[in-house]
């Protein structure tokens, strides 16, 4: 994940200065609507808990500010890769921005911990400190609500007991303490900030980090029901372009058969099933409208 420098530096248009470790800034609501939230198909209870928790934290910041320790504005989403955690975190900022629009804008900040090199712990510590103590507090003054997505936080908050890279364990301690303390300071100073952290490896995260979260949700590999819906959604999108595919997009029995054949697939793989089928041969690639159920069945086996 050697992200290029260009994508690791987001330009803050007010200052036109790049912010280290921030890969994107979006002021919401914007023309993107809630498309990231809508595209992820998960158990409704997960979406509903996530949204309610975010609203509780952001809509009553003053009340909770007066009650120290009452509510941590940190949410953790954990689960295998490709299950929609990153998309859902970004989507959460989108829906929150609509729910709270009458109070003011929501700024979405996507943090890329990979941009804060861990092999140079001293340097990394300074970058983390700058991000948590300066850049994010500045943004929180400028926008009514701030949703900070820390994607793949394991590279940021390495569990002390399992830190395996060749660094002095004392430095690892120090770096991870710096992150935790920085997070605490950020939460204390900036009541209008909600942090959503995602992780592919829940076991790699420091317990001191998870214990700071009031809500830790695990996102699982889709069950057959959910998988059918993901396949249906993906076919539906294609049918929007090639109307000949409409019959396949509406065939619920077919979606179910395909889902059953794709047990254990993650959301990303399920979504790509129709594209996988289309790339099976030259004729289909050139004329996607010729897609048939048999092509989809075949794509589940290769």
Ligand X SMILES: Nc1ncnc2c1ncn2[C@@H]1O[C@H](COP(=O)(O)OP(=O)(O)O)[C@@H](O)[C@H]1O
Provide the binding-site residues for Mg ion, judged by CB under 5 A.
86
- Taking the C-alpha atoms of residue 250 and residue 40, their distance in angstroms, rounded to an integer, is 19
Q: Cβ of residue 110: shortest distance to Mg ion, in angstroms?
A: 11
Q: Is the dihedral of CA 182, 186, 187, 193 positive or negative?
A: negative
Question: Quick one: 12 or 94, whose CB is closer to ligand X?
Answer: 94
Q: Cβ of residue 286: shortest distance to Mg ion, in angstroms?
A: 33
Question: Quick one: 50 or 254, whose CB is closer to Mg ion?
Answer: 50
Among ligand X, Mg ion, none, partner that 268 touches (CB below 5 to 8 angstroms by kind): ligand X
**Nearest to ligand X by Cβ — which residue?**
267
Q: Cβ of residue 118: shortest distance to ligand X, in angstroms?
A: 20
Q: Where are the beta strands (DSSP E) in the chain?
A: 9-12, 17-20, 22-28, 74-78, 106-111, 145-150, 193-199, 215-218
Assess contact for 56 and 50: CB atoms under 8 A: no
Give the rounded distance of the alpha carbon of 24 from its chain centre. Answer: 12
Question: Quick one: 42 or 245, whose CB is closer to ligand X?
Answer: 42
Residues lying near ligand X in the complex (CB under 6 A): 39-42, 81-87, 198, 222, 230, 267-268, 271
The pair of three-digit structure tokens given for residue 277, joined into one six-digit string: 């089928």
Q: Cβ of residue 108: shortest distance to ligand X, in angstroms?
A: 14
Assess contact for 186 and 130: CB atoms under 8 A: no
Question: Quick one: 39 or 49, whose CB is closer to ligand X?
Answer: 39
- Taking the C-alpha atoms of residue 148 and residue 107, their distance in angstroms, rounded to an integer, is 8
């Amino acid at each position: 994940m050697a992200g290029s420098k260009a994508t690791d530096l987001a330009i803050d248009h007010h200052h036109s200065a790049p912010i280290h470790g921030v890969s994107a800034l979006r002021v919401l609501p914007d023309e993107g609507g809630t498309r990231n939230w809508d595209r992820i198909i998960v158990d409704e209870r997960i979406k509903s808990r996530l949204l309610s928790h975010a609203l509780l934290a952001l809509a009553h910041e003053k009340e909770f500010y007066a009650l120290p320790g009452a509510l941590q504005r940190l949410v953790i989403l954990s689960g295998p890769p490709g299950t929609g955690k990153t998309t859902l975190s970004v989507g959460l900022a989108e829906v929150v921005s609509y729910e709270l629009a009458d109070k003011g804008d929501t700024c979405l900040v996507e943090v890329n911990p990979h941009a804060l090199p861990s092999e140079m712990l001293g340097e990394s510590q300074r970058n983390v400190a700058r991000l948590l103590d300066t850049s994010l507090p500045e943004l929180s003054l400028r926008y009514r609500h701030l949703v900070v997505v820390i994607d793949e936080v394991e590279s940021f908050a390495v569990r002390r007991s399992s830190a395996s890279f060749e660094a002095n364990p004392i430095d690892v301690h120090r770096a991870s303490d710096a992150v935790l303390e920085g997070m605490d300071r950020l939460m204390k100073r900036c009541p209008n900030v909600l942090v959503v952290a995602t992780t592919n490896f829940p076991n790699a995260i420091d317990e001191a980090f998870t214990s700071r979260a009031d809500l830790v949700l695990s996102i699982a590999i889709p069950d057959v029901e959910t998988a059918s819906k993901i396949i249906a959604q993906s076919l539906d999108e294609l049918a929007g372009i090639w109307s000949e595919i409409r019959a396949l997009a509406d065939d619920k029995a077919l979606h179910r058969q395909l889902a059953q054949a794709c047990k254990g697939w993650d959301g990303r793989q399920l979504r790509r099933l129709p594209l996988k089928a289309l790339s099976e041969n030259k004729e289909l690639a050139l004329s996607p409208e010729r897609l048939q159920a048999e092509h989809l069945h075949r794509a589940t086996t290769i």
